[in-house]
A and B are shown apart, each in its own frame.
Chain A
C-alpha cells in the first residue's frame, strides 16, 4: 500500500511538472486552461490506475492458491463492506464534480461571450474540398489555406463549410477545423455558422488540420496559420489589400510567352501538390497526375472535354472545373495571378 502510494506520488509529481509546451506549443490563450484540465484528469487518474493495477498484482501473488493447499480451499466469505463501497463511490464522484466545475468555467473561454468578444476581430473560416478559405474584414478577396494573424489580438472566427455547387453529389460536406497548437477544434458544418474565440499568444507557423472525414482529399487537407507581430501582419494585410484592388481593376491578360518554368515549379509545389502529383495521369491524388498533360495519347482531352492545349489549361486554372474526381478550385480560390498562371503553364509544359 505504501509502495503504491510512493509510486502514485512520484507519477503525480511527474504529471504536474510535465512540460507540455515543449512537445506541442501552447500557442493560444485557450491552450493553457485546456492543458490544465488535461493535467487535472491525468493527475487524479494516476492513483486510480496505480492502485487498481498494483492491488490486482499484489492480491494475485499474495492470495495465490498454493500447491500444498487442499484442492477445495476457499477464500474469505466477506460479501460486501458498506464503508469501502461508500468510499469508492463518493471519492470518484467528488473528483468528477470538480472536473465538471472546472470544465464549466473553461467553456466560455473559447466561445465569444461578453466583452472579450466585443473587442475581437471577426473573420470567417470556410471549409472546402479540400482547402480552407479565410475571409478578412476589409479584404475583397479570400485568402486560401494560409491564415495570418497578429499575435496578442483577440479573434472571433466564424466557422462553416461551403462548396461551389448545391448539387448533392459534389455539395458541401463537414470538415473539421483544428489547430493542434491552439487546442482549438470546430467542425465546419454546411448550413451552420459556429463562432470560436481565442487570442494567439506565440509567434510562429502552425498547422491547420482537417479533423472530420470529408472525402478523397481529407488526408491532405492541411493549412497553416502564421502568427506574426503586429507590424509584420500589417505589412501582409496591406499587400492583400493591394492584390485585391488590382484584381478588382480587371484580370490582367495572360501572356503565356512570358511564363517562367522555374517560378512555376515553386508555385506548383506550394499550391498544387495538395491535389496533384507531377506524375502520369493515373497517379491520382485528388485530381489527376499532371505530367505529360499536353502530349498524353491516352488522354488527348482535358477533364473539361476540350483538347489539351495551353489555352484550355489556362481556362481550367482561371475558372476551375468540377467533374468525377471532385472540384478543381478556380484562380481566386487557388490565389493565383495572371502571371502565376503563365508560369504554371510554362512549368507544366516541361513535365514529361
Chain B
C-alpha cells in the first residue's frame, strides 16, 4: 500500500476536507487499522480461516454419513459438527465476508469517499469478530452446541456449557453486524461524491445499503433471543421452558424474525456483486437498473414479514399460515425480476467469459434453482412434507452456497486486483470454477431426492435405503472441498507470479477502477464529481476530477 505519490499537504484544500498522513507503525497500519481497505483484508483473512475450519467440519460430517452406520464420529461429535458448521458458515463466513469484506473494500470506493463515516467504529466491528469466532470454536472444549445453527429450546437448554459460549459468540457477532450496518448506512447516505444521486449509485452500493439497514434493525432481535437463552441457561429465568411457564415457540418467532432478514443479509450483497460483474464483462448497460435497485429495497422490506414460513409445522393458526405463505410468495417476485434482468443483460452484449463472469453464470443457474425450491417450501401443504428434511438442507445450500458463496468467489476474482494489485490466474480460475460447479451440484442435487423420500436432517445414522445416494454425495463433497485448494493455490501464487493488474484490468466504469491498484491510502486525491450513471459502456467516462486518460478497455 505504498503507492501514495502526491505529498499529503497538497490536497488538503479539496472537497472532502484534509487527509491525515498514513500511520507509520506496523500495528496501526495492519492490526488496529482505521483504513477501510485494510479492515476489508482483515475480514477476508479471518473469514477465510473460519471458512476452512467450517468446511472441514462439513467434510467430517460427510465422512460419517458415507455409510448408514458409520462410527467416524460419535453421535455427540457429529451433532456438534453440524451445529458449529452451520453457525460458523452463517455468522463467521458469509455475513462477515460479504458485508465486512466486500462492503468495506468496495462500497467507499464506489461512492467516491475516502473512508467510511466512522472509521473507529469500523475497527471495533472487526475486532469483535475474531473473539466471537474463537469463542464459537472453543465451545468444542466444553461440549459444543448440538441443536443446529437454530438452537431451538428446550433441547438447547439441556446441553453442556458450550451452548452458552455459542450464545456469547453469536451475540458478539450481532453487535459487530449492527455497528457495521449503522456505519455503512450513514456512509452511503452522507458521503457520496457530489453528483452521485441515488439512481446513479452502483448497484453494489444499493445492495450494501439495503443490507446495512437490515443488519441494523434485525440483529437486535437475535441479540434479544440469545440473551434470553443465555439467561435461562445460566440463571434459570424461564423464557422457553414450558414446565416453568416459558414458551419454546417464542424462541422460534424471535430467532426467525432475525434469521429470515439474515437470509437477505447473506444474499443481497451477492446480488450486488453480480450486478457489477455482469455489465463489466458483457460491455453494455445493465438491463433495468431501476427495477434491480428498487427490488432490493422491496426485498428488504418484505423480508421482515415472512419469518413464520420456517414454522409451518410449529402449530401456527391457519390464518397465520396463509398470511406468511402469501407474503413469502410475494418476495419471490422482486427476486425473479432481478434474475430475469441479469439474463436479459447478456442479450446483445460483447461477452468476455472471464472467471468472474463464469462464477456469476454459475450463481444464476444454482440460485435460480434454489429460488424455485424456495417457492415449493413456501406452499404450506408442500412444506408440511418437506420441512426438517434433506430437501431443506439442499434448498438452503443452493441459496447460500450456490448463491452467496458463488457470489463471494465471483467478487474475489473480480476485485482481487483492486485489493492486491495483481490478477489471479485465469486458467486456474476456470478449473476452479468447473470443478466447484460440478461438485456442488453433485453434492446437493441428490439431497432433494432423499429428503423427499424420507430422510430427516440432523441425523448421524439413517435408514440403509439411502446408503447409495449418501455415498455419492459424500464423495462429491470431498471433491468440492478439494476445489477450494485450487483457489488457495491461485491466491498464494498471485502474490509473486500474478500479472500486475494496473488500475482497471477489466475496463470497468465504476469509481473504484478509476484509481490505482491497490487503492492508495487516501483513495481519491481529488473527490470525483459524478455526472451520470456508472454503466454507460461506449460513452465517455461520467466523472470530473478524475484522471481522464484512464483506459476503460479490458486488458485481454
Which A residues contact B (CB, under 8 angstroms)?
A: 23-24, 30, 33-34, 37-38, 41-42, 45, 48-49, 52-53, 55-56, 59-60, 63-65, 69, 71-81, 84-85, 88-89, 92-93, 96-97, 99-100, 102-104, 106-111, 166-174, 176, 178, 180-181, 183-187, 189-192, 194, 207, 209-216, 218-220, 222, 285
Contact = CB atoms under 8 A, between A and B. Distances in A.
Contacts of A81: 287, 344
A47 to B, nearest CB: 11
27 contacts: A23-B453, A41-B372, A41-B375, A41-B382, A48-B368, A53-B368, A60-B351, A63-B346, A71-B554, A78-B285, A79-B289, A85-B341, A92-B332, A99-B375, A102-B379, A107-B380, A166-B244, A168-B243, A174-B154, A183-B384, A186-B313, A187-B315, A190-B242, A191-B248, A213-B146, A213-B148, A213-B152
B537 interface: yes
A169 B537 contact: no
A79 B285 contact: yes
A74 B538 contact: yes
A185 B243 CA distance: 24
A228 B376 CA distance: 33
B463 A59 contact: no
Interface in B335-375: 336-337, 339-341, 343-344, 346-353, 361, 364-365, 368-369, 372, 375
A352 B314 CA distance: 45
A37 B287 contact: no
A207 B520 CA distance: 64
Nearest to A170: B158
Contacts of A42: 376
A219 B79 CA distance: 10
Contact of A192 (B284, B315, B321, B387): B315
A24 B553 contact: no
Interface of B: 75-76, 79, 146-148, 152, 154-155, 157-158, 236, 241-244, 247-249, 282-285, 287-291, 313-315, 318, 321-322, 325-326, 329-330, 332-333, 336-337, 339-341, 343-344, 346-353, 361, 364-365, 368-369, 372, 375-376, 379-382, 384-385, 387-389, 452-454, 456-463, 507, 536-538, 552-554
B388 A168 contact: no
Contacts of A60: 346, 351, 353, 361
Q: Which 6 A-B pairs have the closest CB atoms?
A: A75-B284, A76-B348, A191-B242, A180-B454, A75-B349, A211-B388
A41 B247 CA distance: 35
Contacts of A220: 461
Contacts of B507: 72
A213 B458 contact: yes
Nearest to A193: B315
Contacts of A212: 152, 388
Contacts of A52: 339-340, 343, 364-365, 368
A21 to B, nearest CB: 13
Contacts of A78: 284-285, 287, 348
A41 B158 contact: no
- The residue in B284, B369, B384, B457 that gathers the most chain A C-beta atoms within 10 A of its C-beta is B384
A80 B287 contact: yes
A107 B318 contact: yes
A85 B336 CA distance: 11
Contact of A176 (B283, B344, B456, B460): B456
Given A77-B284, A166-B243, A213-B146, A219 B379 contact: no
B444 to A, nearest CB: 15
- The residue in B157, B344, B352 that gathers the most chain A C-beta atoms within 10 A of its C-beta is B344
A212 B392 CA distance: 13
Given A48-B372, A63-B348, A76-B349, A191 B461 contact: no
- The residue in A102, A167, A172 that gathers the most chain B C-beta atoms within 10 A of its C-beta is A172
Nearest to A181: B454
A210 B352 CA distance: 50
A62 to B, nearest CB: 9
B248 to A, nearest CB: 6
B314 to A, nearest CB: 5
A211 B391 CA distance: 12
A180 B453 contact: yes
B127 to A, nearest CB: 33
B343 A38 contact: no
- The residue in B288, B339, B381 that gathers the most chain A C-beta atoms within 10 A of its C-beta is B381
A60 B457 CA distance: 38
A190 B243 contact: yes
A180 B389 CA distance: 10
A215 B158 CA distance: 9
B290 to A, nearest CB: 7
A190 B381 contact: no
B85 to A, nearest CB: 14
- The residue in B315, B380, B385, B553 that gathers the most chain A C-beta atoms within 10 A of its C-beta is B385
Contacts of A77: 284-285, 536-538
A85 B344 CA distance: 10
A218 B458 contact: yes
A189 B248 contact: yes
Contacts of A97: 329
A50 to B, nearest CB: 11
- The residue in B290, B387, B457 that gathers the most chain A C-beta atoms within 10 A of its C-beta is B387
B291 A59 contact: no
A107 B322 contact: yes
A38 B376 contact: yes
A125 to B, nearest CB: 14
B288 A103 contact: no
A219 B158 contact: no
B553 A64 contact: no
Contacts of B241: 168, 171
A338 B351 CA distance: 79
A185 B365 contact: no
B388 A37 contact: no
Contact of A210 (B75, B332, B456): B456
Nearest to A30: B381
Given A79-B285, A185-B384, A185-B385, A169 B158 contact: yes
A38 B249 contact: no
A185 B552 CA distance: 57
Given A77-B285, A106-B381, A59 B453 contact: no
B380 A56 contact: no
Nearest to A97: B329
A136 to B, nearest CB: 23
A111 B321 CA distance: 12
Contacts of B457: 211
Nearest to A183: B385
Nearest to B339: A52
Given A88-B340, A103-B379, A209 B456 contact: yes
B461 A96 contact: no
B382 to A, nearest CB: 5
Contacts of B456: 176, 178, 209-211
Contacts of B368: 48-49, 52-53
B515 to A, nearest CB: 21
B188 to A, nearest CB: 23
Contacts of A88: 336-337, 340
A80 B468 CA distance: 48
B350 A73 contact: yes
A269 to B, nearest CB: 15
Contacts of A189: 248-249, 314-315
A233 B8 CA distance: 90
Contact of B325 (A38, A59, A100, A108): A100
Contact of B460 (A72, A207, A219): A219
A92 B295 CA distance: 15
A187 B316 CA distance: 11
Contacts of B248: 174, 189-191
Given A88-B340, A187-B314, A187-B315, A219 B381 contact: no
